[in-house]
Structure 1
Amino acid sequence: MKREALPAATHVASGTHVLADLNGIAADKLSDCAGLETLLRQAAEAAGAHILFSHFHAFGDGQGVTGVVLLAESHITIHTWPECGFAAADIFMCGSAQPELALALIENALQPQSRKVQAIQRSMT
């Protein structure tokens, strides 16, 4: 007896992916590894996301930081260049999490003089 194939399960992944270029930030804010980790963890919580893990790395005294907060809903990352007053943030969240709330908290803390933000709706459909 031949079995009929079951229809393929359809999973529609959707979320909002926010990319932010933040310029004109005080260098001391961009080289504070522990401070940036605390900030991004707070941003995740403000967005209603669930933190799984975080890891941040400082490149040396007064130098940049790179970090990631891994979320059940995806991630928040940051990479900083204190010597240029620049930070690049990447916020991707699925489900009911609100990445715009995370970005608002990050911007409020870092106080950039200018910003360029792109929001992309991600979906398999």
Structure 2
Amino acid sequence: MPFKTSDAPGKTDYPPGTHVLLDFWGARGLQDVAFIEAAMRGAAEACGATVLETRLHQFGAGGGITGVALLAESHISIHTWPETGYAALDIFLCGACRAEDAIEPLKTSFRPSHATVATVERGRRY
């Protein structure tokens, strides 16, 4: 059964949002906080999402980075392992914004040698 927005007449059921999971291997920029922030902001812009705040933390000089772009429509998050060239990204968007529209801008920024994409419609009972 899909997510129930309201029991009010005229309202329809719909999933609250789409969650895209990206795995990037052989990616660039995984130790660069400014680069990652710009990539996340560019992805949000490509979706028409509004960035409320970004927060990124680097684990020591040259270490991995974990962070989130808080969006009015939900979030984009990242966790990087530069020692292996791997990054895990999540894009969860609600409303009119399409999470899928962030995929290509992120691929263009990080230039992974290999990427996998999984998409989940959140709020559905399976």
Confirm or deny a common fold (TM above 0.5). yes
Unaligned runs of 5+ in 1: 1-6
1:45 alignment partner in structure 2: 45
Paired with 2:50 and 2:70, the residues of 1 have a C-alpha distance of 9
Query: Aligned AA for 2:96?
Result: S
Q: TM-score, normalised by structure 1?
A: 0.85
Matched, 1:72 2:84: no
Deviation string 1:14-53 (CA, Å, 9 cap, x unpaired) is 2110011110123xx1000111011101110111111111
Query: Aligned AA for 1:108?
Result: T
CA positional deviation for 1:12: 5.2
Query: Aligned AA for 1:37?
Result: E
Identity within the alignment, %: 46
Paired with 1:24 and 1:80, the residues of 2 have a C-alpha distance of 11
Paired with 2:73 and 2:124, the residues of 1 have a C-alpha distance of 16
Is 2:15–2:121's contact at 8 Å kept on the other side of the alignment? no
Counterpart secondary structure, 2:63: coil
Paired with 2:117 and 2:100, the residues of 1 have a C-alpha distance of 10
Q: TM-score, normalised by structure 2?
A: 0.84
Matched, 1:120 2:82: no
Is 2:58–2:65's contact at 8 Å kept on the other side of the alignment? yes
Deviation string 1:47-75 (CA, Å, 9 cap, x unpaired) is 11111111011112211111100111110
Is 2:27–2:111's contact at 8 Å kept on the other side of the alignment? yes
Paired with 1:45 and 1:25, the residues of 2 have a C-alpha distance of 21
Structure 1 runs of 4+ with >2 Å offset: 7-13
Paired with 1:115 and 1:61, the residues of 2 have a C-alpha distance of 26
Paired with 1:124 and 1:117, the residues of 2 have a C-alpha distance of 19
Q: How many residues align?
A: 117
